[in-house]
Amino acid sequence: MTYDSGPPRRGLYRSRDGMIFGVCRGVADYLDFSAGWLRAILVAAAVMTGFWLVVGLYVLAGLIMRLEPAMPFRDDSDEEFYQTYASSRSLALQRLKRTYDNLERRIQRMEAIVTARDFDWERRLREGRE
């Protein structure tokens, strides 16, 4: 099942609905080519050049290529996060922690302003009614 409701994906990924590892379908989607024809070319190459060489390269491609995202990216920051996460989960966790810490600091600043003794609640409430 593919999730094609969104902007086209940029980059080369293994397909989630491929036959074996999803390499052929992923490459075919990237090149806008038929997956069936690409598989036929791969089988012909295996017969002509040596079975184990092509199978070895296919398995290597299956291990190196990143898996296709389950959902389309909403914007470039989503894609950037996915690339970070796919390459290094520890970097992605550090990025999430940094984002959370920044949000925490902003909330603390807002709380400090609102709970300060000199914050004029009466004036703020009157402004909200008008």
Per the document, the length of the chain is 130
How confident is the model at residue 3, as a pLDDT? 45
Q: Give the chain's mean pLDDT.
A: 80
> In which band, very low, low, confident or very high, does the pLDDT at 49 lie, cut at 50, 70 and 90?
confident
**Other CB atoms closer than 10 Å to residue 84's CB: what's the count?**
17
* Residue 72 buriedness (CB in 10 A; 0-12 / 13-18 / 19+): middle
Q: What is the pTM of this model?
A: 0.50
Q: Which bin fits 66, alpha (ψ -120 to 50), beta or left (φ > 0)? A: beta
Q: Tell me how far CA of residue 2 lies from CA of 18, 72, 78, in angstroms.
A: 10, 10, 18
8 Å CB contact between 35 and 24: yes
The confidence score (pLDDT) of residue 123 equals 78
